[in-house]
Structure 1
Amino acid sequence: MRGTTTILLIGLAAAPVAMADTAGSGSVEWRPVASERLMRLPTGYLERAIERDFQESPLAAALDDAGRALVDKSAGLGELQAAAEAATGPEGDALRQRFLEEKQAYLQLMGRRHDLERERLKAQRALYARLLGRIERDGAAGEDPAAARLAENRRAAQRRFEASVEKVDMKLFADGAAAESRYGSEYRRHAKAIDRLVTAINAHPLTQASEVDGQSVDKQDFLRHLATRAEADLALLDQQDLVLAYMAKLVALDAMAMADEVADREVRSADRPETRDVSAAVGFFITPN
């Protein structure tokens, strides 16, 4: 049993625990599209719409699963560490070995999550670049198309209403007792309602210009900011991978040290005689046969 433990520990030390299990990473994807609908969204709603699209993807589900698995694994590590520190003898060795195996599994899970997060950030960065390219190509840099259409529709409605008023038979207003025509009063009431609605739309948080570091920016600059942030997050992920590699190195060193410790103990406890002083056997040779 102890020999088997030593072999398992040596195998654990040699295992590439820093490497994520990427075999299934290609089966989960997020492929956002720089669609016309997305292009026409207000700047304040753009990032939220992209995040909502991501949350409906298989990649988001895989990230959630990895996160839950890491939480469970982390909780189990704490309990196992306490048990390994309290136990002695063969039971203690078994728990220490199990603790090393669970730490290796934790690192593999974290590496898997890093791979998935990297896929998300790369997809975001590519989407921002496509959106920015379309805006620059189409020359729709600063103006929100939805807001522009709303303003034009409002102006067209006013023109149509004013034209219809001019066509009204003025004989309807010949009566001097009519201080104000029904058409005139309704026109002013409708115009006020339109003005209030437009004001409310312009004041809505989702139609406000987005801000970066307290400064209002247009859609182009906001997309550049999002792309830069994705690049920064990727750089931070690379740093986390380095931390993961060092943690994996420590797991390998702990496994090697424990393997040596168990092997030495097996040698010391082996039930066989050992002659260290050759002079103890002299009598066998000086006595005549």
Structure 2
Amino acid sequence: MKNHLRLLSLAIGLSLGSAALLCTSQVLAQSPTFVQNNDWRPVASDKLITLPANIIEKRIEQDFSASPMAMRLVELDNQMDNTTSRIASLQQDLAQAEGPMLDDLQYELVQQKSTYLDVLQESFELRKNSLIKKQQIYQDVLSKYRQQQNTASSSIKVQIKRQQQEAQARMEAVMAQVDQNLMHTGYNTASPYADEYASNLAQIDQLKDKINQHKANAAPTIDGAEVSSEEYIRQLLHDASMHQSLLDQEGLMLSYMARLVALDAQALEYQMAYGESDGNKIKPQVAKASQAVGLFL
């Protein structure tokens, strides 16, 4: 009787919970306590956008990993691992159980599945929340990139600096040409100055190649092709939107799983209240008039 009442309560709760799963999730995500204890607040700071685009991605992931939200996700993953192990153990024990022990194991199995869904639902909401925040910060980074470009293109100082750099480059090219001419004019053999100059040029070229190849100076790539920082961030946004679609599917699966657990609880409650199906019961023999006709003949 005790298990019957517990199952009745559990079945009703699971039925209502599966029907209003998405609404409950939204209320949970908007709860002040939920947000405060499991929050992550990334900011597109000026320091962040000075980093290479691929380093921005790593920096955001690093910031998330140290947040209370990520730590809570780790805790939830551990809880789900423990719960799934217990569910598997109960399913094995059910094969040999009988009588009241069978009823207790069936009840605990439904209860463990319900607990697993509660934890999975919280994990789902946290992962969805983190994805939304990542999309927001990528959008902020793109906005700041555009602001910088607009400011740079309209800045007189930048234009003057560019002109100075171009003039400096022209002057260095002329000086290099003059030095090359001086090295070979009037000399039948190379001078010590020419040898050292050529050696220095070769070493400078090696240093420039090393700088260009250095991983800290490498341009972000997508599928092996170099792209701009803006294109790289846009790709991150695209990936996040694809992940959002997967989360939407997971939310649908979560609601179906909750419905199945509710049905399991209802079936078990009916079984305990009314016994097995009619096909397994012995039907009482009912006397019929036709069976007694011979007695009157």
Within the alignment, does 1:12 sit opposite 2:10 as a pair? yes
> Which of residues 34, 54, 57 is equivalent to 1:25?
34
Within the alignment, does 1:109 sit opposite 2:107 as a pair? no
Deviates more, 1:92-101 or 1:57-66: 57-66
C-alpha deviation, 1:212, in angstroms: 2.6
CA contact (8 A) 1:104 1:251 kept: yes
CA contact (8 A) 1:30 1:54 kept: yes
Within the alignment, does 1:128 sit opposite 2:138 as a pair? yes
Q: Cα–Cα, structure 1 residues 190 and 123, in superposed 2: closer, same or farther, change >3 Å?
A: farther
C-alpha deviation, 1:210, in angstroms: 2.3
- Report the residue type matching 1:25 in the other structure: F
Deviations 1:152-198 (CA, angstroms, capped at 9, x unpaired): 8xx89xx8xx9xxxxxxxxxxxxxxxx757xx95x877765554344
Equivalent-residue separation in structure 2 for 1:49 and 1:200 (angstroms) = 25
CA contact (8 A) 1:25 1:116 kept: no
> Which of residues 250, 263, 271 is equivalent to 1:253?
263
What is the 5 A alignment of 1:249-288? 249-265=259-275
- Report the residue type matching 1:8 in the other structure: R
Q: Cα–Cα, structure 1 residues 190 and 101, in superposed 2: closer, same or farther, change >3 Å?
A: farther
What is the 5 A alignment of 1:62-77? 62-77=72-87
Equivalent-residue separation in structure 1 for 2:78 and 2:200 (angstroms) = 55
Deviates more, 1:121-130 or 1:204-213: 204-213
Deviations 1:28-68 (CA, angstroms, capped at 9, x unpaired): 11111112221111223221122112111111111111111
C-alpha deviation, 1:99, in angstroms: 0.3
Equivalent-residue separation in structure 1 for 2:4 and 2:267 (angstroms) = 10
Equivalent-residue separation in structure 1 for 2:55 and 2:203 (angstroms) = 25
Equivalent-residue separation in structure 2 for 1:99 and 1:222 (angstroms) = 47
Q: Percent identity of the aligned residues?
A: 29
Equivalent-residue separation in structure 2 for 1:28 and 1:99 (angstroms) = 29
CA contact (8 A) 1:44 1:206 kept: no
Within the alignment, does 1:80 sit opposite 2:90 as a pair? yes
Alignment match, 1:211: 221
> Which of residues 225, 231, 235 is equivalent to 1:221?
231
- Report the residue type matching 1:66 in the other structure: L
Q: How many residues align?
A: 234
What is the 5 A alignment of 1:157-236? 180=192, 195-236=205-246
Equivalent-residue separation in structure 1 for 2:96 and 2:120 (angstroms) = 27
Equivalent-residue separation in structure 1 for 2:68 and 2:203 (angstroms) = 45
- Report the residue type matching 2:52 in the other structure: P
Equivalent-residue separation in structure 2 for 1:204 and 1:211 (angstroms) = 14
Name structure 1 gaps, 5 residues minimum: 142-151, 163-178, 269-275, 278-289
Equivalent-residue separation in structure 2 for 1:140 and 1:78 (angstroms) = 60
Name structure 2 gaps, 5 residues minimum: 152-164, 176-190, 279-285, 288-297
CA contact (8 A) 1:6 1:262 kept: yes
Equivalent-residue separation in structure 2 for 1:197 and 1:53 (angstroms) = 34
CA contact (8 A) 1:84 1:99 kept: no
Q: Cα–Cα, structure 1 residues 203 and 94, in superposed 2: closer, same or farther, change >3 Å?
A: same
C-alpha deviation, 1:130, in angstroms: 0.2
Equivalent-residue separation in structure 1 for 2:88 and 2:150 (angstroms) = 55
Equivalent-residue separation in structure 2 for 1:140 and 1:50 (angstroms) = 25
Deviates more, 1:127-136 or 1:76-85: 76-85
CA contact (8 A) 1:45 1:206 kept: no
Structure 1: 4+ residue segments shifted above 6 A: 187-191
* Aligned-residue RMSD, C-alpha: 3.2
| Greater helix fraction, Structure 1 or Structure 2 | 2
- Report the residue type matching 1:119 in the other structure: N
- Report the residue type matching 1:207 in the other structure: N
> Which of residues 70, 73, 80 is equivalent to 1:60?
70
**3-state SS of the aligned residue for 1:30?**
coil
C-alpha deviation, 1:238, in angstroms: 1.2
- Report the residue type matching 2:4 in the other structure: T
- Report the residue type matching 2:7 in the other structure: L
- Report the residue type matching 1:260 in the other structure: Y
CA contact (8 A) 2:52 2:220 kept: no
